[in-house]
Amino acid sequence: MKLIWYDGSLQEVSDSRFYQSFRDYILIPYDADRKNNLDELEDEILDEQDELLEERGQPYTEETEKYLKDTSKDTMEKLKNASLKELTKDIPLGNLKGAIGEDFPEDYKLKDVRNTSRTEQLITPFEEKDALEQEYKKEDFEKRLQDAIFSDKSKLTEFLTYDKNSPKDKIVLKFDMRSDTPEETHGKIKWYENLGIEVALHKPDKPRTSPDSDDIVVEISEELKGTLALKPKEGEDATKFEKVLIESIFENKKDLERIIMTNIPKDILDKNTLYDFTMTLTILLRPLPDSKLYEKDDRRTIRKPTTTTNEKGEPETIYDTEDNPNYGGFKLDDEGKRIPKYEGDDTDNLVEIKTVWRKIKTAILKPRTTFAATSGQTERVRGLGRAGMTAGRAGEYSSDKINMARKYYLNLVKARLEKLEEAISKIPPAKEA
């Protein structure tokens, strides 16, 4: 059928011409290699075919519309279900010729450029992709802390100090954890390295954050309870007490977990952010008030059951809603006793801890797969993982390198595919006679 095609002339356009034109538009990356201005296919030729034909004095009929739509859709289906490697065999790729190399899988079809997970595996080695999905956990942070303090007990007070000016009924502790370094075995940089991933350090846009606070009740060990009772009186030397107190907290795993680790905010564990983190913990030595020990009854209304007899003479329970006379008080069980918030009858070892913390971002970690290791304002950390894995140059690919050319090319093909499909969807209808 005669159509206005990409060179602007009125010509006989066969099915094979559709196939070649669509294929070249989608797959040839550089303008100089795309003859006859193939870009016209997408932004003018298809969706303005009616006007273009009328300009040449040829009617745009229902037959023309049908041929244009059916052939376009059939051609796209053939292309999308064809092997991308096979399609690009004779396509000029210029500087991107390494994008579809011998290692590229035969069964990867053109339509698979939309398959994010499969495409990522061809750009980033699968082992890295899997590693990137892992999370830096609280256990890793705790190991980092333990590595730092148990290698040398004299370092205990570098991380936790006792405020010798603590009020009479309080123990004030100051926790200070500086930003991770590449040498720390369980720091985030080394954690990435152990996964075989190189990272780059970027300066954060907004390093400072406002202080935040919390208030919790925890159970401490009998040993720590006894140590707290030794708190020196005002004017007495607190040096010995500080040493015993800090050692007592760090040497008992449960005390360390409940006093320090429980109070670590979740975003400190963000694997891609390094922080200077400080925290002030105030342990109250006074008995806990009832409001901290028992459940509060915040039900404004309650349902009160009434047993009646229905029309069949059978007993039936009806519930009426009424104001709760105990609203604002403590919840009561069936025996009228207050319901405790914590298990067990012994509350002697429960203490209230008020916490104030501040986080200061010192760096943003960007894994190598985000281009961070090859561009931007970065500070390279080290050659990392799997025999010094590095970001691959455009045009090369191996199992331990990222093929930047491949990433760019597959994204380009996806964009062209979507643009052409959009143009096909806008093929104009024939006007009614």
The Cα 83–Cα 107 span in angstroms is 6
- For 236-276, write each residue's pLDDT tens digit: 899 999 999 998 998 888 999 989 998 888 889 999 999 99
Residue 120: per-residue pLDDT: 79
**Dist CA 421 CA 110 (whole Å):** 13
Residue 272 token pair: 């891609």
Q: Give SS3 for 54.
A: helix
**Quick check: 195 and 208 in contact, CB under 8 A?**
no
Average pLDDT along the chain: 82
Q: Which residue has the tokens 């304002």?
A: 377
pLDDT of 230 above 70? yes
Count CB neighbours of 267 within 10 A.
11
Q: What is the mean pLDDT of residues 145-165?
A: 80
Average of per-residue pLDDT across 25-44: 80
Within a 13 Å sphere around the CA of 166, how many CA atoms are in the beta-carbon half? 26
Tokens of 355: 């916490």
Q: Cα–Cα distance between 306 and 400 in angstroms, integer?
A: 73
| Ramachandran class of 370: left when φ > 0, alpha when ψ lies in -120 to 50, beta otherwise | alpha
pLDDT at 386: 29
Percent of the chain with pLDDT over 90: 32
What are the structural domain ranges in the chain? 2-124+402-425, 138-284+346-380, 295-339
Strand 170-177 to 199-202 pairing: unpaired
Instruction: Tell me: pLDDT of 2 over 50.
Output: yes
Task: Assign 3-class secondary structure to 264-332.
Answer: CCHHHHCCCEEEEEEEEEEEECCCCCHHHHECECCCCEEEEEEEEECCCCCEEEEEEEEECCCCCCECE
Mean pLDDT of the region 360-388: 50
Write down the pLDDT at residue 392.
36
> pLDDT (tens digit, 9 = 90+) per residue, 90-146?
889 888 877 888 878 889 999 999 988 788 778 765 445 556 678 899 889 988 888
- Strands 160-162, 273-284: pairing is unpaired
The neighbour count for residue 98, using CB atoms within 10 Å, is 19
**What's the rounded mean pLDDT across residues 299-314?**
85
Q: Which pLDDT belongs to residue 320?
A: 86
Q: Which of 83-92, 362-371, 401-410 is predicted least confidently?
A: 362-371
Q: Contact 96/401 with Cβ under 8 angstroms?
A: no
Share of the chain above pLDDT 70, in %: 87
H helix or E strand, kind and range, residue 70: helix 62-80
Q: Pull the structure tokens for residue 104.
A: 């590229």
Measured CA to CA, the distance from residue 349 to residue 292 in angstroms comes to 14
Helical (H) or strand (E) element with 116: helix 116-123
pLDDT digits (tens, 9 = 90+) for 48-74: 889 889 888 889 999 999 999 999 999
pLDDT digits (tens, 9 = 90+) for 191-220: 888 877 778 888 888 777 778 888 999 999
The model's confidence at residue 235, banded by pLDDT at 50, 70 and 90, is confident
The H or E element containing residue 11 is strand 10-12
The residue-averaged pLDDT of 324-330 equals 89
